Amino acid sequence: MKAILPGSTVGVLGSGQLGRMFAIAARRMGYRVHTFSPDSDTPTGQVADREFEHPYDDLDAVREFARGVEVVTFEFENVPTETAEAAAQFAPVRPSGSVLHTTQHRLREKTFLSSHGFPVTPFRHVRSLPDLTAALAETGLPAVLKTAGFGYDGKGQTRIDSEEEAPAAFEALRGREGVVEAFVDFEREVSVVAARGPGGEFAHYGVVENTHSRHILDLSVAPARVAEAVEREAVGIARAVLEELGVVGVTCVEFFLTRSGKLLVNELAPRPHNSGHHTFDACVTSQFEQQLRAVCNLPLGSTELLRPAAMANLLGDLWQEGEPDWRAAAAFPNVKLHLYGKTDARPGRKMGHLTALAATPEEAARCALAARRALTRRAGG
């Protein structure tokens, strides 16, 4: 398989912040970037060479987009499989449409993981209220009911603590099929961001520790404070997942770490991930450059962590009392500010992030959180 060298044009399906950071890495290495999504003036489009503004189901436009690039990748997995298949008629799509098909649907993803022997929490398919009642009898309570497809950041999820809550939870599916999972009383959530090249080359960023708020990632700390045996197992599982899926590109494997020290795979994301944002500042090769290297069949770069780091998300809630105080954040010399170019600051919307570098993970976490708090301090407050 030939390498796609600098000077070539790379296409990105999707146009959010992940595509933006990918485009920055690609432009730095001399590539051109085209992005495709239903929106204009997007985070990716502001950095790309060309922005295609069409619905994903406009397959003629997708084909035109693919004709103008040497390779296509994607920055979020909710792109329809048909879109990836149409693009693949004119340019290689990496990761492939089959990877997209598996990971964008919770039931297919859980079934893939379970059938290949990967550790997952017990789950059942739900299409009716009797299905849900029977599933809860098997998984036990509490449990979590999730939409089977197209969910992220906790969207489409309902916790069920009693049988009486089942009908309302089922109604929340709004006619969509669902997956019910046994509730996991975990000690912490961790993730492994890893990359695989076309020839099976593998690189990983170790284990990252994640804290969520309202089902949205709030803080990531690297390296994670876990036992060495847990790290080895998590990386081993991640490598096996990428191999079984045949991934070419970057994928994040999210885990629950139970109080007994057992790892359970929670979700897969076949693209750069929020919990890998620190790599932009803290690693020799960022996850975004690594994605570019993998899909273009270049040698994978070093994933060495130069210093412990922590990443704190900046959600639209921070704008509720006016523009955040960027000067206050800039007063922290070891903190990097990343803003995504989004103009509409809605509560819960990811607008940017802060990355702090320090001598220890704990110090990095404290610094990132302090810098974020400083954004909303007001004179006399």
Domain end, chosen from 182, 202, 217, is at 182
98 located within any domain? no
**Does 238 share its domain with 367?**
yes
**DSSP SS3 for 194:** strand
How far is it, in rounded angstroms, from Cα 292 to Cα 191?
21
Domain residue limits at 163: 122-182
**Does 177 share its domain with 206?**
no
**How high is the pLDDT of residue 381?**
39
Burial grade of 197 (CB within 10 A; 0-12, 13-18, 19 or more):
buried
Side chain identity at 11, as an amino acid letter? G
pLDDT in tens, 55-79: 999 999 999 999 999 999 999 888 9
**How high is the pLDDT of residue 149?**
76
81 located within any domain? yes
Are 356 and 323 a contacting pair, CB within 8 Å?
no
**How high is the pLDDT of residue 380?**
37
**Does 162 share its domain with 196?**
no
**How high is the pLDDT of residue 377?**
76
**How high is the pLDDT of residue 175?**
87
pLDDT in tens, 306-317: 999 999 999 999
Are 33 and 48 a contacting pair, CB within 8 Å?
yes
Q: Strands (DSSP E) along the chain, which ranges?
A: 9-13, 32-37, 50-53, 71-74, 123-126, 143-147, 157-160, 178-182, 186-196, 202-213, 216-222, 249-258, 263-269, 309-315, 335-339, 350-357
Nearest alpha-carbon partner for 325 in 290, 372, 376, 262: 376
**Does 300 share its domain with 190?**
yes
Token readout for 15 is: 């146009």
**Residues with pLDDT less than 50, the chain:** 379-381
List all residues 6 or more positions away from 48 whose beta carbon is below 8 Å from its beta carbon: 12, 19, 23, 33, 34, 35
**Does 247 share its domain with 164?**
no
**Does 245 share its domain with 167?**
no
In three-state form (DSSP H/G/I as H, E/B as E, the rest C), the secondary structure along 317-345 is HHHCCCCCCHHHHHCCCCEEEEECCCCCC
**Does 82 share its domain with 61?**
yes
pLDDT in tens, 110-129: 999 999 999 999 999 999 99
**How high is the pLDDT of residue 153?**
54
**Does 338 share its domain with 300?**
yes
**How high is the pLDDT of residue 152?**
57
**Does 227 share its domain with 269?**
yes
Rounded to two decimals, the pTM is: 0.94
**How high is the pLDDT of residue 379?**
40
> Peptide bond preceding 142: is omega within 30 degrees of 0, i.e. cis?
yes
115 located within any domain? no
Number of domains comprising the chain: 3
Domain end, chosen from 182, 200, 220, is at 182
Domain end, chosen from 166, 182, 198, is at 182
219 located within any domain? yes
